[in-house]
């Protein structure tokens, strides 16, 4: 009886298939229950994707607008700064190239309203114009930073005033002066005494903390020495005088052997006797002619010629390293120069 019910294989196949189908339906229902949370998460993520895609379009549009506004301000700043830095005959404009996937921005230059091609710029821009443009580009970026970024910024400038005339130098210094209270610090590196002097003059009344550091060299190394405003504002005449006078008084040991004759010939006589040189039309092509042209009294002439002879580079004094000889000669010369009465 048991075997007989399985004699019809077709019925058995149908029964097996029916069971299999029932099992599949049950497994599907079970999977729906097990994966229900995943489905919910999936549908939520799909909705977020649709939302984000819409936000991307909105943000891209806003970004283009913000970029456009920033660039307009940036190029306007560059143009204004460039003119204020002394390049008044030039106009700088933004040029846009839309041929690629993204727009490319460049600078268009006009001179007296006539557009200058890039290959002509090197013949139209002077060295001062180039440096002014570089400074304008740099400073425009600083001006457009937000307040928080500026307060953290340390600005380092390496000889920014090379080849600048007085007007450009003065405006640049006022530019730095007007920015110092907005940033953390400005460090300026330079070896141009004229710029340092103008900086000290323009900033002397500013309510800012200023430090002056000078690089001093000796036979073995270089070191940073803290100096003061007065030292940096000295004229060449005052600076060399103080160096010689300091050596005489033993306040330093820096050699003055090569300073004595240039001080007498290039600084003391042209400064103290500038009127006599102009009135008498003195020939200043040599120290000997200068002495003969300035002085009328023979004893004064003789004394100055003695100094000239002593300070001759071929003199034994200046081929030796005897500091006392140098100190005594310098002391005698300075005593005479600053007690002279004509």
**What confidence score (pLDDT) does residue 240 get?**
92
| Cross-strand pairs, 216 | 223
Structural contact between residues 225 and 231, judged by C-beta atoms closer than 8 angstroms: no
β 104-111/185-189 pair status: unpaired
**What confidence score (pLDDT) does residue 319 get?**
52
Other Cβ atoms within 10 Å of 136 Cβ, number: 21
Highest mean pLDDT among 194-208, 233-247, 267-281: 267-281
| Percentage of the chain lying above the pLDDT 90 cut | 40
94 SS3 class: strand
Start-to-end CA span in the chain (Å): 156
Q: Is the pLDDT of residue 321 over 70?
A: no
158 SS3 class: strand
Q: Is the pLDDT of residue 166 over 70?
A: yes
Average pLDDT for the chain: 87
pLDDT band at 22 (very low <50, low <70, confident <90, very high): very high
Residue 87 has which token pair? Answer: 């390049």
Residue 319 has which token pair? Answer: 């081929």
Structural contact between residues 129 and 111, judged by C-beta atoms closer than 8 angstroms: no
Q: Is the pLDDT of residue 318 over 60?
A: no
Residue 112 has which token pair? Answer: 């007296």
Q: How far apart are CA 45 and CA 41, in angstroms?
A: 6
**What confidence score (pLDDT) does residue 314 get?**
53
**What confidence score (pLDDT) does residue 289 get?**
93
**What confidence score (pLDDT) does residue 275 get?**
92
Q: What would the pLDDT profile of 271-301 be if each residue is shown by its tens digit? A: 999 999 999 999 999 999 999 999 999 999 9
Nearest CA-CA partner of 323 in 270, 276, 253, 231: 253
**What confidence score (pLDDT) does residue 235 get?**
82
Q: How far apart are CA 271 and CA 237, in angstroms?
A: 8
**All residues at 6 or more sequence positions from 203 whose CB lies less than 8 Å from its CB, including other chains:** 173, 177, 210
Residue 268 has which token pair? Answer: 């003391």
Instruction: Decide: pTM greater than 0.85.
Output: no
Sign, CA torsion 80/86/89/93: negative
**What confidence score (pLDDT) does residue 335 get?**
94
145 SS3 class: coil
Alpha helices in 187-228 (DSSP H): 193-203
**What confidence score (pLDDT) does residue 95 get?**
83
**What confidence score (pLDDT) does residue 121 get?**
85
Sign, CA torsion 102/104/105/111: negative
Q: What would the pLDDT profile of 110-165 be if each residue is shown by its tens digit? A: 998 899 888 888 888 888 898 999 999 999 999 999 999 999 999 999 988 877 88
Q: What would the pLDDT profile of 177-201 be if each residue is shown by its tens digit? A: 889 889 999 999 988 877 888 888 8
**What confidence score (pLDDT) does residue 150 get?**
93
- What is the Cβ-side half-sphere exposure of residue 258, based on CA atoms within 13 angstroms? 2
Q: What would the pLDDT profile of 45-97 be if each residue is shown by its tens digit? A: 999 999 999 999 888 888 877 777 788 888 889 999 999 888 888 998 888 88
β 185-189/90-97 pair status: unpaired
Q: Is the pLDDT of residue 5 over 80?
A: no
Q: How far apart are CA 253 and CA 216, in angstroms?
A: 13
């Amino acid at each position: 009886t048991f075997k007989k019910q399985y004699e019809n294989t077709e019925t058995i196949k149908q029964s097996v298939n029916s069971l299999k189908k029932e099992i599949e339906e049950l497994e599907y229902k079970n999977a729906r229950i097990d994966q229900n949370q995943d489905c919910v998460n999936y549908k939520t993520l799909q909705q977020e994707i649709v939302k984000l895609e819409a936000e991307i379009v909105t943000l891209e549009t806003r970004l283009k607008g913000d970029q456009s506004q920033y660039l307009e301000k940036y190029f306007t700043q560059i143009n204004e700064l460039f003119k204020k830095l002394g390049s008044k005959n030039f106009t700088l404009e933004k040029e846009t190239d839309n041929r690629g996937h993204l727009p490319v921005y460049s600078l268009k230059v006009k001179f007296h309203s006539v557009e200058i091609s890039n290959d002509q710029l090197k013949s139209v821009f002077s060295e001062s114009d180039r440096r002014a443009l570089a400074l304008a580009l740099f400073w425009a970026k600083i001006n457009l930073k937000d307040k928080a970024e500026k307060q953290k910024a340390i600005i380092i400038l390496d000889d920014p005033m090379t080849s600048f005339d007085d007007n450009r130098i003065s405006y640049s210094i006022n530019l730095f002066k007007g920015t110092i209270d907005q940033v953390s610090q400005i460090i300026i590196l330079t070896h141009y005494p004229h710029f340092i002097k103008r900086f000290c003059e323009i900033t002397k009344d500013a309510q800012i903390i200023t430090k002056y550091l000078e690089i001093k060299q000796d036979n073995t190394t270089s070191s940073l020495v803290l100096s003061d405003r007065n030292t940096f504002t000295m004229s060449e005449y005052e600076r060399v005088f103080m160096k010689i006078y300091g050596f005489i008084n033993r306040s330093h040991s820096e050699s003055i052997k090569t300073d004595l004759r240039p001080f007498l010939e290039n600084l003391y006589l042209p400064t103290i006797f500038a009127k006599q040189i102009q009135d008498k039309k003195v020939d200043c092509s040599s120290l000997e002619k200068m002495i003969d042209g300035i002085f009328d009294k023979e004893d004064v002439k003789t004394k100055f010629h003695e100094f000239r002879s002593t300070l001759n580079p071929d003199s034994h004094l200046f081929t030796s390293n005897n500091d006392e000889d140098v100190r005594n000669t310098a002391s005698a010369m300075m005593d005479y120069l600053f007690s002279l009465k004509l």
